[in-house]
Amino acid sequence: MSKLDESLLSGLPPFSLLERSQIREILDQALPKRYDEGAEIFHEGHDAERFHLLLDGYIRVVKTTEGGEQIIALHISPGQLFGIAPALNRDTYPATAVAASESLALSWPVRLWAEFTAKYQGFATESYSTLGQRLGEMQTRITELATQAVE
């Protein structure tokens, strides 16, 4: 894959407050990877080794219950971070990520999360803002499940 131009990412939440040179520094450490539809990107409970930015495609985040049922907890669309276990203070992935369509993502080793959030203030604020939005979505979904009648 050829080198991505920083301007392609400048409007995305983790990068929107950064200068082009800062985006370049982060991109130079990224590993691009294509995933076929149905491919598992990481598995719930496994050691969190990398965090990702989805460039194209869609990701399903699947949580497994104690009874073995799989529940789709979240859908990730292009331009979003996923697999951000270090943002949750976790060493393992809290759910499984599966490519819902052919997808393209960038990833970084989790050891870089602390460096990115410390060195690039905009990366930190935008990433944690995204995390807050996701928690809000999940709270809404839980409320709907608890209060809506089953048809």
Q: What is the pLDDT of residue 121?
A: 82
pTM of the model: 0.84
Q: pLDDT higher for 135 or 151?
A: 135
Q: What is the pLDDT of residues 49-108, one digit of tens each?
A: 999 999 999 999 999 888 888 888 889 999 999 999 998 889 999 999 999 999 999 999
> What domains are there in the chain, each with its CATH number?
32-146 (2.60.120.10)
Q: pLDDT higher for 36 or 11?
A: 36
Q: What is the pLDDT of residues 122-146, one digit of tens each?
A: 887 777 667 667 667 766 766 766 6
Q: What is the pLDDT of residue 47?
A: 97
Name the pLDDT band for 2 (thresholds 50, 70, 90): low
Q: What is the pLDDT of residue 137?
A: 73
**Strand, helix or coil at 92?**
strand
Q: With contact defined as beta carbons under 8 Å apart, do 91 and 47 qualify?
A: yes
Q: What is the pLDDT of residues 22-59, one digit of tens each?
A: 999 999 999 999 999 999 999 999 999 999 999 999 99
